[in-house]
C-alpha cells in the first residue's frame, strides 16, 4: 500500500523524524485557513501516490492568502501521471540550504535491507544517478541488527558532509530506518531530506510503501487504507478483497497474477487501446471472485469492453467460466466480455463458455487475439 505524503510523514514523525508543520486541505478555503495557522510563506502540495508532482505543477510556494487560493484551485483536479488530485498538503515554507536523498528498501536477493543515500536530492536525483551511479551510496543492512545512528553514519561516510551535518543526517536516516522496520515497509524514501539554513535536518517529502501482507499486524492502517482508496472504483474493489488499480482507458482488464495482468495491459496498448484498470484476481480464484471482479470492472462508466485473461495454475478453468456465466446472467453486464482461457481445466472452461456465447460474450484462443477484439469492441462502442 502506497501512502500519501502526509500519511507517510505522520508515520515517520512518530519514530522521531523531523517533518515540516502542515495540514491537509480538500478545497481552496481549507487551504487558506491552513496557511493562516502556519504563517507565511507556505508550500501547497498535491497529494498523489506517484512521482513527478513538481514537474507537473503540483507543488507551489505561496506568500499570501490569494496565492494559496489560486494555487489550490489550480492543483485540485490536476492529473499527475494518471492520478487525479483530490486533496492537498499545506506546509510551512522553510529556508533550505541543501537537499539530500535517503531511502531504505527491501533487498530481496540479499535477504536484508538496502540503504541508499546521495548528496544530490530533489528532482535532480534521477538525472544524477543515471549520469553517475557512483553518486548514490548503497549499503546493505542486516535485518537482524538494529538500524543505529552509528551504522548509518558509516554508510554516509562517502557523502560530502561536514561532521555535524553528517551526524544529523544519520540520526534522521536512522529514524526512518526504525519506521521502516516497525511498519513492515517495503520502501521509505526521503527526497529531499533537507538541511535547513539553521542546521536542522527535515524530511521535506516522504514516500512510504507498506507491505500489504503485514496488514493483519497493523490495525492502525485502517484509516490510511480508507483514505488511500479515494478512487470510487478502488474502494469498491477493496471492499471485495480485489487487487485493483484504476487507469484511464476504456478496456477493462481482469487476470490472475500481477505479471499476467501487466502483460495484458501491454498487449492492449500494442493493439491500439488503453486499459481502464489493473485487476488481479490472484491464484486459485473461484467463480465468486471472478463474478465480483466482472461486476467491479463493468461498474466503471468509462469501460466499453472487458478482457478476461486467465492462465490457470491453481486457478481452474471451469471455475473461471462459472464465474463469468454467473456475472453475465446475474448482472446484465453493460460491456461485452472477451475471454482468453488457458491452463488447468481450460478445455472444460471453454466448453462451458461455448454454450453461452453471444454478442456480449466471446472467447479467443490467444492473448493477442483477445486484446485486438476487446480494443475493437471498445472503439466501436465509443463511436
Other beta carbons within 10 angstroms of residue 58's beta carbon come to 23
- Cell digits of residue 122: 530533489
348 closest CA partner among 370, 378, 315? 315
Please provide the size of the chain in residues.
383
Residue 10 CB partners (closer than 8 Å, separation 6+): none
Bond before 41 cis per omega within 30 degrees = yes
Residue 83 bears catalytic tag: no
Q: Indicate which residue of 101, 113, 186, 364 is catalytic.
A: 101
Q: How far apart are CA 351 and CA 163, in angstroms?
A: 72
- Are 23 and 53 in contact by the 8 Å Cβ rule? The answer is no
Bond before 192 cis per omega within 30 degrees = yes
- Cell digits of residue 40: 507565511
Other beta carbons within 10 angstroms of residue 355's beta carbon come to 8
- Are 174 and 145 in contact by the 8 Å Cβ rule? The answer is no
Q: Indicate which residue of 186, 189, 318, 364 is catalytic.
A: 189
Residue 101 bears catalytic tag: yes
Catalytic (active-site) positions: 101, 189
Amino acid at each position: 500500500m502506497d501512502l500519501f505524503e502526509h500519511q507517510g510523514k505522520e508515520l515517520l514523525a512518530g519514530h522521531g523524524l523531523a517533518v515540516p508543520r502542515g495540514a491537509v486541505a480538500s478545497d481552496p478555503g481549507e487551504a487558506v485557513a491552513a496557511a493562516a495557522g502556519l504563517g507565511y510563506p507556505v508550500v501547497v502540495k498535491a497529494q498523489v501516490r506517484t512521482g513527478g508532482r513538481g514537474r507537473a505543477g503540483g507543488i507551489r510556494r505561496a506568500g499570501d492568502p490569494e496565492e494559496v487560493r489560486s494555487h489550490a484551485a489550480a492543483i485540485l483536479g490536476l492529473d499527475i501521471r494518471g492520478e487525479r488530485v483530490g486533496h492537498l498538503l499545506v506546509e510551512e515554507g522553510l529556508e533550505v540550504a541543501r537537499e539530500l536523498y535517503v531511502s531504505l528498501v527491501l533487498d530481496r536477493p540479499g535477504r536484508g535491507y538496502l540503504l541508499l543515500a546521495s548528496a544530490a536530492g530533489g528532482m535532480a536525483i534521477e538525472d544524477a544517478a543515471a549520469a553517475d551511479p557512483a553518486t548514490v551510496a548503497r549499503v546493505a543492512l542486516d535485518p537482524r541488527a538494529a538500524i543505529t545512528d552509528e551504522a548509518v553514519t558509516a554508510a554516509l561516510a562517502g557523502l560530502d558532509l561536514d561532521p555535524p551535518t553528517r551526524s544529523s543526517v544519520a540520526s534522521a536516516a536512522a529514524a526512518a530506518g526504525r519506521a521502516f522496520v516497525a511498519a513492515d515497509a517495503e520502501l521509505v524514501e526521503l527526497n529531499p531530506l533537507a538541511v535547513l539554513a539553521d542546521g536542522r535536518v527535515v524530511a521535506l517529502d516522504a514516500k512510504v510503501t507498506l507491505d500489504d501482507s503485514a496488514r493483519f499486524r497493523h490495525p492502525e492502517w485502517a484509516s490510511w487504507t480508507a483514505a488511500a482508496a479515494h478512487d470510487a472504483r478502488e474502494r469498491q474493489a477493496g471492499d471485495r478483497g480485489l487487487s485493483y488499480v484504476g487507469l484511464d482507458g476504456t478496456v477493462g482488464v481482469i487476470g490472475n497474477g500481477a505479471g499476467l495482468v501487466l502483460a495484458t495491459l501491454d498487449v492492449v496498448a500494442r493493439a491500439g487501446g488503453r486499459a481502464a484498470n489493473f485487476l488481479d484476481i490472484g491464484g486459485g480464484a473461484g467463480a465468486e471472485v471472478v463474478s465480483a471482479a466482472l461486476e467491479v470492472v463493468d461498474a466503471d462508466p468509462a469501460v466499453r469492453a472487458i478482457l478476461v485473461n486467465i492462465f490457470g495454475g491453481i486457478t481452474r478453468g471451469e471455475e473461471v467460466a462459472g464465474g463469468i456465466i454467473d456475472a453475465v446472467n446475474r448482472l446484465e453486464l453493460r460491456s461485452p466480455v472477451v475471454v482468453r482461457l488457458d491452463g488447468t481445466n481450460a478445455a472444460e472452461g471453454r466448453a462451458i463458455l461455448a454454450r453461452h456465447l453471444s454478442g456480449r460474450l466471446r472467447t479467443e484462443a490467444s492473448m493477442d487475439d483477445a486484446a485486438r477484439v476487446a480494443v475493437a469492441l471498445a472503439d466501436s462502442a465509443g463511436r
